[in-house]
Amino acid sequence: MKTTVIGQGAEAAVAKSLQKQGYEILDRNWRTKICEIDIVAKKAKTVYFVEVKYRAGAAQGSGLEHITTRKLNQIKFAIRVWSQNFNWQDDCRIIGAEVSGPDFENIELVEIE
């Protein structure tokens, strides 16, 4: 299976999980020429920016380990761009979503910031 298809499956599973937990999905795969965000979700008055990482097995390490300082800085930049585009000035947070399993059944959500 191609990595794009796997990534889309993992993102769909995370979006579904978030919706079950009461989040409203505002956008998936939001992109500009210079940045991207996997999932933008809202719960109460907070917008959450979700970085999804899929791992087929433990040999690849934790998906959350792959959210490096560099990646976190890219996410923060994308949040600034998104916030300007949508005139969002209220609370926002970052969630790392680690997905595993052949059917994307294992999902761990960790608030990073």
Burial of 20 per CB tally in 10 Å (0-12, 13-18, 19+):
exposed
3 confidence band (pLDDT: 50, 70, 90): confident
Angle at 1 between CA 20 and CA 97, to 5 degrees: 35
Structural domains in the chain plus CATH codes = 3-111 (3.40.1350.10)
Closest residue by Cα to residue 36 from 62, 87, 71: 71
> How confident is the model at residue 111, as a pLDDT?
92
Q: What integer best gives the mean pLDDT of the chain?
A: 90
Residue 33: pLDDT above 80?
yes
Backbone angles phi, psi at 68, to 5 degrees: -80, 175
Query: Rounded mean pLDDT of 16-41?
Result: 96
> How confident is the model at residue 68, as a pLDDT?
87
